[in-house]
Amino acid sequence: MTSFPDTISLASGYGNFTTPPAALQQATTLLQGGPLPLSPIEGLPALRAALAARYQRQGAAVAPEQIVVTPGAKPALLAVLKALLSPGHDEVLLLTPNWFGFQGLVEKAGGTLRTLPLDPATDYALDVAAVQAALTPRTRVLLLSNPNNPTGRVYHRAELAALLHLTRQHPQLMVLADEIYDGICFGPDRVPSLLEFDDPLSQHVVVSGFSKSLALIGWSVGYLVAPAAVARQCAAWQFATAAAVSAVSQAAALAATEQAESISAGLCAGLRANRERMVAALAAMPSVRQQLPQGTYYVFPDFRAFLNPALPLPAASADLAARLRAGGVEVVDGASCDAPGFFRISYAVPEPELREALRRLTAALPLR
């Protein structure tokens, strides 16, 4: 009989993917080929050119000079926020629910975080009128993730275009899209990049990485794409505070970029059965509302029916997370993403673990 750990984690942000063979091969060849080259601070020219070419194939006018390779997406986000924000003055408007990491990054960059909750009842539609009402003269950055972590929602072309119609009327405003999950998408259409839209006022910035959609977990590579002047500032920040990403990791990233479509398609194919299992398990739970997310390897069900009504909302959410943990399953409390009572649950784990975790989850929830 298979034995499982006392606690099965469905809380990790990283999947159980192995390094794509082409990436491993390219990194190994470099390692075995003599002294390692040192990368320029902004990244190896070949990787920046390959990334730019990939966006160009999608119809985006991106030049290599706009790209800075960073040790993961987080440092890219911090560099961008540092470059854009006037500390103590500027605000970042974050559409929520959203990834719990953004808050700390905005704080470290000296910005003030403001949140705009989107409505689960509309499947988190971009509410342009609400965004407009939330903007102030101090709002310097509008921050979103697409596909969204934690909801899995994918924002398609028409919905983004309506939002960008608004942001173009606010020249001081930058739009920052975290697109790190862009290859994990189960819908018929691929996830559009913010970079594919007209940007007459140079307002668009994208941050991405290789650890989610391209399976380079533990290789610590990410990047940003920004107007060239902002990219230069970000490179200067990286020069002053860190180092260039190892050429070994960049070699792996270059191979992954060249095979991006097939790597992501392989990951999605491998995730599909788990996704169906997860969605079926949630659908079988009475009182649980869950929209079928098109992107990421998360679901974000509404467990508000199971909260202890005697507790205030965030405490009730933490209490349910603790009850689930006591029942042997670790999930992410949506309170950390500005959505108490919702829970981020990953299905990018081995199938037997997922099966057992779902059994435990069902047993731990007071289903009626």
Ligand X SMILES: Cc1ncc(COP(=O)(O)O)c(C=O)c1O
Q: How far is the CB of 251 from ligand X (least distance, A)?
A: 17
Q: How far is the CB of 114 from ligand X (least distance, A)?
A: 18
Exposed/middle/buried for residue 205 (C-beta within 10 Å: 0-12, 13-18, 19+): buried
Provide the mask over 165-184, with x wherever binding to ligand X is found by CB under 6 A and - wherever it is not.
Answer: -------------x-x----
Q: Which of 17, 55, 99, 197 binds ligand X (CB under 6 A)?
A: 99
Question: Whose Cβ is closer to ligand X: residue 64's or residue 97's?
Answer: 97
Q: How far is the CB of 153 from ligand X (least distance, A)?
A: 13
Q: Which of 235, 215, 233 is nearest to 223 (CA)?
A: 235
Kindly indicate which of the ranges 33-41, 69-77, 255-263, 351-359 contains the residues binding ligand X, using the contact rule CB under 6 A: 69-77
Asked if residue 13 binds ligand X (CB under 6 A), the reply is yes
Half-sphere exposure at residue 367, Cβ-oriented, CA atoms within 13 angstroms: 14
Q: Which of 297, 300, 299 is nearest to 268 (CA)?
A: 297
Asked if residue 149 binds ligand X (CB under 6 A), the reply is yes
Question: Whose Cβ is closer to ligand X: residue 74's or residue 153's?
Answer: 74
Question: Whose Cβ is closer to ligand X: residue 204's or residue 212's?
Answer: 212
Distance CA 118, CA 300 (A): 14
| Residue burial 30-39, b: 16+ Cβ < 10 Å; e: rest | beeeeeeeeb
Work out the end-to-end distance of the chain between its first and last CA atoms, rounded to an integer number of angstroms.
30
Asked if residue 74 binds ligand X (CB under 6 A), the reply is yes
Question: Whose Cβ is closer to ligand X: residue 99's or residue 300's?
Answer: 99
Kindly indicate which of the ranges 67-75, 250-258, 276-284, 316-324 contains the residues binding ligand X, using the contact rule CB under 6 A: 67-75
* Alpha carbon 366 to its chain's center: 31
Provide the mask over 255-294, with x wherever binding to ligand X is found by CB under 6 A and - wherever it is not.
Answer: ----------------------------------------
Distance CA 272, CA 254 (A): 26
Question: Whose Cβ is closer to ligand X: residue 101's or residue 327's?
Answer: 101
Q: How far is the CB of 220 from ligand X (least distance, A)?
A: 7
Question: Whose Cβ is closer to ligand X: residue 204's or residue 344's?
Answer: 344
- Written as one letter, the residue type at 146 is N
Asked if residue 147 binds ligand X (CB under 6 A), the reply is no
Distance CA 234, CA 238 (A): 6
Q: How far is the CB of 362 from ligand X (least distance, A)?
A: 27
Helix 45-57 vs helix 247-258: angle between axes, to the nearest 10 degrees?
Answer: 20
Q: How far is CA 124 from CA 45, 88, 138, 155, 287, in A?
A: 39, 30, 25, 9, 20
Asked if residue 209 binds ligand X (CB under 6 A), the reply is yes
Q: Which of 10, 41, 73, 251 binds ligand X (CB under 6 A)?
A: 73
Helix 351-364 vs helix 260-283: angle between axes, to the nearest 10 degrees?
Answer: 30
Asked if residue 297 binds ligand X (CB under 6 A), the reply is no
- How many CB atoms are closer than 10 A to CB 330? 17
Q: Which of 222, 293, 295, 328 binds ligand X (CB under 6 A)?
A: 222
Cα four-point dihedral sign 336, 331, 271, 76: positive
Kindly indicate which of the ranges 72-80, 239-247, 319-327, 358-366 contains the residues binding ligand X, using the contact rule CB under 6 A: 72-80
Q: Which of 211, 233, 257, 264 binds ligand X (CB under 6 A)?
A: 211
Would you call 314 helix, strand, or coil by DSSP?
Answer: helix
What is the binding site for ligand X (CB under 6 A)?
13, 72-74, 99, 101, 145, 149, 178, 180, 209, 211, 222
